[in-house]
Each structure stands twice: as structure tokens, then as C-alpha cells.
Chains A and B, each alone.
Chain A
Amino acid sequence: MTHIIRGVSIAAILAGLAVTAQAQDFAGVTLEAKLIGGQQYEALYARIAEWEAATGAKVNVISKKNHFELDKEFKSDIAAGTTSWCVGSNHSSFASQYPSLYTDLTPLIPAEEVAAYVGANIAAATLDGKLVMLPRAQFDVSALYYQKSLYEDADKAAAFKAEYGYDLAVPTTWDQVRDQAVFFADPPNFYGTQYAGKDEAIVGRFYELVVANGGALFNDDFSPAFNSDAGKQSLQWFVDLYAAGAVPAGTTNYLWDDLGNGFASGTVALNLDWPGWAGFFNDPAASKVAGNLGVAPAPMGSAGVRTGWSGFHGFSVTEDCANKDAAASLVLFLTNEDSQILESAAGPLPTRTAVWDHVVAEAASDPFRSEVLAAFQETAKTAFAVPPTPLWIEATNLIYPELQAAILGDKSVDEALQTASDAVDELMREEGVY
């Protein structure tokens, strides 16, 4: 017993020494940071004061913007050579655009710490062998939100079966989503579903459907691969829903906020959306579907694969940072277990295995939260990130106007995909990709 007490005392002293050493390590260091801004992220940033107290370092947040604005700022910084700030918010969809901006975290973060994150997230955060960011508890993959009451109406069930020949149930395939969306739609008062209709968002949705239908957006050499049967089948799905009036007429102008608010208004039956909306959708003060909300895993395409375009936020350290060790310590702190437990308590999904277990255990007594987590956990199993090319955003800017042209009837599916494929091919050749 005495040995145990003595052992514990020694361990406590060593731990104390370690904390003191850590505190002295970075005393006098000031780190400049450019972070994603928004109310939902502030709880985590409040923890920065704890890291400052523990290490003696100071953090000076010099920019707080959304990722699209940060992206422009980072590009301007690279152009102007003003990259001596240290910590930046990053996102898996943007990360590949800044090959020279961020340093490899592998030598700065202990291997056992890296192993504590979900393997798929670390793989997606590793570009050209460099671990460019540590993922925070902001993992995004989409699951299917739906209005439960639509599936409890016997008359609707009978009418659906008479028209389509199978039972009306929460859809498990995208073909079923199309049938049901057309069946439920009663424009302009009620729509079967909706989709993000512009920018990277619609290309992301198209990309995941192409994969679910057994295709790919790019070949291994990043030449375009979407002008294929799977690509045509996928784009046709978007076109059919628009032509049938099953989606709002303005959907080609919608982005995430329009979609979230649209579903919360109670005028949409089925909505593929991100986990961060779950709380909002089930909040009676904000949403008309609260209490009538179901969440199911993302449906599958014709290849039996679930859609699963995923992304996550993270923190990176710049190559030009004068105190990379301190910066890496901050990044690790902001994504450690305590930080991820704090962030995921508000709804976002974690990226550490232990925190997933914690969140699932916490939700056991809340049936809605359990349903949400089960749906997203199932979808996350087969999730996939955007293709790892620095030309991803540029390619999406060439693809999305063509997808829109097909949806709005300006071009046929074949013409639109051929034009988009030719444009992406020209881009890749011009940039010397192949």
C-alpha cells in the first residue's frame, strides 16, 4: 500500500513537473492565428485561455471569417508572402489548395496522439504524405432527415403502393428517394426534397451520387471520369426531380442555409443534410418539423454504395511559423479529448475514437439523439472525402454551371457532362497534371 501511495506521489510530482515544464516551454511566445468564425465555434476558442495559462504563451487571433473568406485570405497571404502567422483553420475540402502553406505535423505530434483520431480522418488530412492538419470535432457527412408523419399515413401508404408497386417506407436507395419525392410533392406548398444547387455544394452532391452509382469523379491521374454511365445516371436524378417539380424552383440558387431553413419551415419531405442541423430541426422554437423528425443513414445508389461525401474542419500550422512546437501544442490542445467532448456536446460529430464512444454513451438516454448518432455513425463508416487535388475547387467551378444547365433544361445530360468533362480535362492539361 505504501508503495502504491509512494508511486502515486511520484507520479503526481512528475506530472506536476511536466505541466511546469510545459508552462515554461512557451513562455513569452505569441502565436498569431486565423480561425473560422461563428457562434458555434466560440465555445472551443474560450479554451484557448486554458492553454495560455498552462504554457505561458499568448494567442493573438488576427482573423475570424468563414472558410470561403479565409480561403481567399490564405491565397492572398501566399501571394504576398505574409504567411508568418502560425495557426490556421483548415478544411478537408480546401486543404489541398495550399501545398506550400502548411507544415507536416508528423514530427511535431507524438504518434500515439495521432493514432487516437479516427483513421479515415487522419488519412484525409494527409496530403502527399504530409499530415497537414489535426481534425477537430466538426466532422461532416450527410444523412437523411425526414418528416415521420408522412410514413404514418395509411392513405398515403396505399396510394403510393398503388402507384409505385412497393411499400412506402423511409427510403434506403436514391431511386426510392426520387419516387417518394415526386409522390409527396405538391408545389408551391410542399416539396418532396431539395438539393444544394450551386458552387462546390452541388458538385459535392453529384460526386457522392456518382460514387454511390458505381462511378468516380476522377481517374487515378485526375483526368475526368464523370462523363460515364454512372455520371449520366446521377445527373439524370437531379434533372428528373427538377422537371417533376419535386424540388423548389429556386433550388439551383440554394446553399446550405437555404436548405436548412427550407426543411425547418416544414415544406419539404426528405432532406439530405449535415449533422449540425439536427438540433435546429428538432427545436420547436425554430423548426416546424420538431417532434416529427426522423433521421436515417444516407441512401444507397445503384451500386449498393451509400452516398457519403464528407469533410471536416481542422487546425494547421504554417511552414513559416517561428514557433512550430508551440503552434503544434495549441493545435493538439484544440483537438484533444476534452476539446472534442466540449464541441460535440453541441451536436457536431467528433473525430477521435474515444470521443465517439463517449458521445454514444451520453446519448443513450435520449432517443432522438441516439437515432441521430446511429444514422450518422452508419453513414460515416463508408464516408469519403473530396478527391485530393489542389484543383478541386477550380474543377467544381467548371462542373457546376454545366450541372445547372442540364437541370434547368438548357442542355441535355450528355451535352452538359461532355462540356464539363472537356473543360476539366483542359484545366488538368493546362496545369500540367498529366
Chain B
Amino acid sequence: MKLGKFPPWLALLMPAIVLLAAVVLVPLVLSFYSSFTSYKLTKPDTLYNWIGTFNYQKAAGDIYFWTAFGRTVLLLTVALNLEMVLGLGLALMVSKVTRGQRLLRTMMMFPMMFSPILVGFQFKFIFNDNVGLVNNTLQSLGLTTTAIPWLVDAHLAMFSIISAEIWTSTSVFAILILAGLYAMPQDPLEAAKVDGCTPLQSFRFVTLPFLMPFIYIAMAIRSLDVARAYDIVQIMTNGGPARRTELLWTLIGRTGYVDAKMGYANAMGYISILLAIFFTVYFFRKLTAARAELGMAL
């Protein structure tokens, strides 16, 4: 019997390999193959129409694709850094609370429990120029007499989207950093105190280096999340107006499912994956360096 020739370890791993191949490899290979075809959802026969690298060439020469690519990098950079700073502050403050910390930790996680679609609708209403909470507050306080177009203005629209992203995900950073704070040994901090370090110096040279591995893990996780940002943007602006908030996945989603051009959408998707790979590699290198600095195992 042929199966008997498999070494036992391979035979035992086979179910997992088959399962992984079915749910990961097959869709991956199929979508990669389709990126070399003119595949349209509404014309199934086009899946067999091989057009070489046409889709990749088209994406490479498409100014709107690269603008969306650049905007996604911008969103990633701004959102991740702000979330890190706010999450760090939140974690430091919560770690100092002596009573009701458990309740605070639970409350801190509330935004993560909302569906991104719901967050999108919520912030769409908050930033609505006519009936939105922000404009009505500003107008009631006499701070403005105009209707500020939060979701339309080139800069404010991205700001509004970044606000929604930050609101929903800062707690990811806060929770991970808080875990780092709990795991931190107190001896180095006490030694720094004895050596006459100010609280700021203790934070800068003792606490922060210890927290950096936790921060890089949070950054790696969130960079993958933000690089795939879709739901919130789709609801708030759908990439508009005039492509002012177009991100990679609003563009790719529209191309694939509304225009039905799945081959082209997959090609854009594969180019976009480079972005996620770059950020993941970058943050894992940083993580390794931070751990090495602390003398942790690599």
C-alpha cells in the first residue's frame, strides 16, 4: 500500500497539510492565477482568458492606484503613531489606578467590541456637516458660523477617518502595553530611583525600553489591520469625494465586486500585499532589536 510508505510524522501531519492547502493555498493560488487573466465575475469564462502581466502593468501605470497606495501608507503612519502614543498614555494612567482598575480595563476595551461598520456609521453621523454632533457643538459654542465639511475637505476627511480608526483601536495598544507594564520587574525602577533618576528619566531609560517589544508587537498587528482598512472608510466616505480618501482596499473592493473586474482587483491586491509584508518585516526586525537590547532570547 502506497500510504504505508509515508513516514509516520508526515502521515500524522497530512490532515493538517490537506486542510491548510484547502483553506489557504488553493484560494491563494487561484486568486494569483486569476490576476493574470481578464476574469470578470459576470463572465465566468474569462477566468481562462490568460492575458499575462497586463493587469500588473495597468496597475503599475495607474496614478489613482499609486495615490491610494500612498494614502494608505500615510494613514498607517499617522494612525499607528497616534494610537501608540495615546495607548501608552492610557496604559500608564490605568496602571497607576489603585481602585476600579478591572472596570477601567473592561471599559477601555468597549470600542474594540463595536463592529467597524457600526463605528463607520457612528462617526459618519458625528462628522456630518449639517446634523452632525461636532458641527452642532461648534456652532452652539459660537466657535464657528459655517458648516465645516468634515467628510468632504481634503485634509479634514482623512482626519475624520483617522479619528474613527484611533477611537476604535487605541485600546489594542493600551491593553498590550498594560500587559507589558504588569510584567515589568520593579527592581530596575527602584535602582534608578536610588541612583537619583527623575520620573521622566526612569520612564525614558527604564520603562520605555522594556515596553518596546510590546509596542512593536502591537504595531505589527495593527499595521496589518490598517493596511487592510476598508469597513470604516467604506461607510464614512467610500473613498470619496473625488478620491480624496481613496485607500487601497476601497479601490480594490469597488473594482472587484462593483465593477466585477476580479482579475484586475487581484493584481492590485497582490501588489498591495507588499505593503503589509514591508511593515510586518520592519516591525519584527525592530522587535528583535528591542529584545536583544533587553538581553532577551531572540
Chain A residues closer than 8 Å to B128, beta-carbon distance: 250
User: B-facing mask of A217-252, CB < 8 A → 1, else 0?
Assistant: 000000000000000000000000000000011101
| Minimum distance in angstroms from B18 CB to a CB of chain A | 22
Query: Which of A52-60, A323-331, A393-401 is the contact stretch?
Result: A393-401
- The complex places the Cα of A75 from the Cα of B257 at a distance, in Å, of 8
- The complex places the Cα of A188 from the Cα of B41 at a distance, in Å, of 44
B237 within 8 A of A: yes
- The complex places the Cα of A75 from the Cα of B260 at a distance, in Å, of 7
CB interface residues, B 134-159, toward A, < 8 Å:
135, 139, 145-152
Query: A188 and B145: CB pair below 8 A?
Result: yes
Chain B residues closer than 8 Å to A100, beta-carbon distance: 42-43
- The complex places the Cα of A394 from the Cα of B256 at a distance, in Å, of 11
Query: B146 and A199: CB pair below 8 A?
Result: no
A81 within 8 A of B: yes
Query: Which of B161-169, B171-179, B239-247 is the contact stretch?
Result: B239-247
Query: Main secondary structure on chain B at its contact with chain A?
Result: loop
Q: What residue of chain A has the Cβ atom nearest to residue B157's Cβ?
A: A253
Query: A75 and B42: CB pair below 8 A?
Result: yes
- Which of A71, A76, A252, A407 has the most C-beta atoms of chain B within 10 angstroms of its own C-beta? A252
Chain B residues closer than 8 Å to A404, beta-carbon distance: 240-242
Query: B241 and A262: CB pair below 8 A?
Result: no
| Minimum distance in angstroms from A432 CB to a CB of chain B | 10
CB interface residues, A 382-396, toward B, < 8 Å:
390, 393-394
Query: Provided the pairs A249-B147, A401-B243, A410-B242 are in contact, do residues A79 and B131 lie with their beta carbons within 8 angstroms?
Result: no
CB interface residues, B 249-295, toward A, < 8 Å:
254, 257-262
Q: What residue of chain A has the Cβ atom nearest to residue B132's Cβ?
A: A250
Q: What residue of chain B has the Cβ atom nearest to residue A80's Cβ?
A: B44
- The complex places the Cα of A404 from the Cα of B145 at a distance, in Å, of 25
Q: What residue of chain A has the Cβ atom nearest to residue B54's Cβ?
A: A430
- The complex places the Cα of A248 from the Cα of B135 at a distance, in Å, of 13
Query: B237 and A188: CB pair below 8 A?
Result: no
Q: What residue of chain B has the Cβ atom nearest to residue A101's Cβ?
A: B42
| Minimum distance in angstroms from B96 CB to a CB of chain A | 42
Chain A residues closer than 8 Å to B244, beta-carbon distance: 408
A276 within 8 A of B: no
| Minimum distance in angstroms from B296 CB to a CB of chain A | 47
A250 partner, pick from B43, B151, B242, beta carbons under 8 A: B151
- The complex places the Cα of A394 from the Cα of B257 at a distance, in Å, of 10
B149 partner, pick from A71, A250, A394, beta carbons under 8 A: A250
Number of chain B residues close to chain A: CB under 8 A? 32
Query: B41 and A76: CB pair below 8 A?
Result: yes
- The complex places the Cα of A265 from the Cα of B131 at a distance, in Å, of 9
B260 partner, pick from A97, A198, A405, A408, beta carbons under 8 A: A97
B238 within 8 A of A: yes
| Minimum distance in angstroms from B255 CB to a CB of chain A | 8
Q: What residue of chain A has the Cβ atom nearest to residue B257's Cβ?
A: A72
A171 within 8 A of B: no
A379 within 8 A of B: no
- The complex places the Cα of A99 from the Cα of B257 at a distance, in Å, of 17
Chain A residues closer than 8 Å to B150, beta-carbon distance: 250
Q: What residue of chain B has the Cβ atom nearest to residue A200's Cβ?
A: B258
Query: Provided the pairs A249-B148, A253-B152, A394-B259 are in contact, do residues A188 and B135 lie with their beta carbons within 8 angstroms?
Result: yes
A284 within 8 A of B: no
A345 within 8 A of B: no
Query: B242 and A397: CB pair below 8 A?
Result: no
Query: Provided the pairs A249-B147, A393-B259 are in contact, do residues A78 and B41 lie with their beta carbons within 8 angstroms?
Result: yes
Chain B residues closer than 8 Å to A71, beta-carbon distance: 258
Q: Which bracket fits the contact residues of A? A: 35 or more
A199 partner, pick from B135, B145, B238, beta carbons under 8 A: B238
Q: What residue of chain A has the Cβ atom nearest to residue B148's Cβ?
A: A249
| Minimum distance in angstroms from A229 CB to a CB of chain B | 23
Chain B residues closer than 8 Å to A250, beta-carbon distance: 128-130, 147, 149-152
A197 within 8 A of B: yes
- The complex places the Cα of A262 from the Cα of B41 at a distance, in Å, of 37
Chain B residues closer than 8 Å to A265, beta-carbon distance: 130-131
- Which of B242, B243, B258, B259 has the most C-beta atoms of chain A within 10 angstroms of its own C-beta? B242
A41 within 8 A of B: no
Query: Provided the pairs A75-B257, A248-B129, A250-B129 are in contact, do residues A405 and B42 lie with their beta carbons within 8 angstroms?
Result: no
- The complex places the Cα of A169 from the Cα of B42 at a distance, in Å, of 49
Query: Provided the pairs A188-B146, A250-B152 are in contact, do residues A390 and B240 lie with their beta carbons within 8 angstroms?
Result: no
Chain A residues closer than 8 Å to B149, beta-carbon distance: 249-250
Chain A residues closer than 8 Å to B131, beta-carbon distance: 261-262, 265
A-B contact pairs, 5 of them (CB 8 A): A75-B42, A249-B146, A250-B128, A405-B242, A405-B243
Chain B residues in the interface with A (C-beta under 8 A): 41-44, 128-131, 135, 139, 145-152, 237-238, 240-244, 254, 257-262
User: 17 other contacts beyond A249-B146, A407-B242, with CB at 8 A cut-off?
Assistant: A71-B258, A75-B42, A97-B42, A99-B42, A100-B43, A187-B147, A188-B135, A198-B240, A249-B129, A250-B150, A252-B241, A253-B241, A265-B130, A265-B131, A397-B259, A401-B242, A410-B242
7 closest pairs, A vs B, by CB?
A: A188-B147, A250-B129, A249-B149, A252-B241, A404-B242, A405-B242, A75-B41
Chain A residues in the interface with B (C-beta under 8 A): 71-72, 75-76, 78-79, 81, 97-100, 187-188, 197-199, 248-250, 252-253, 261-262, 265, 267, 390, 393-394, 397, 400-402, 404-405, 407-408, 410
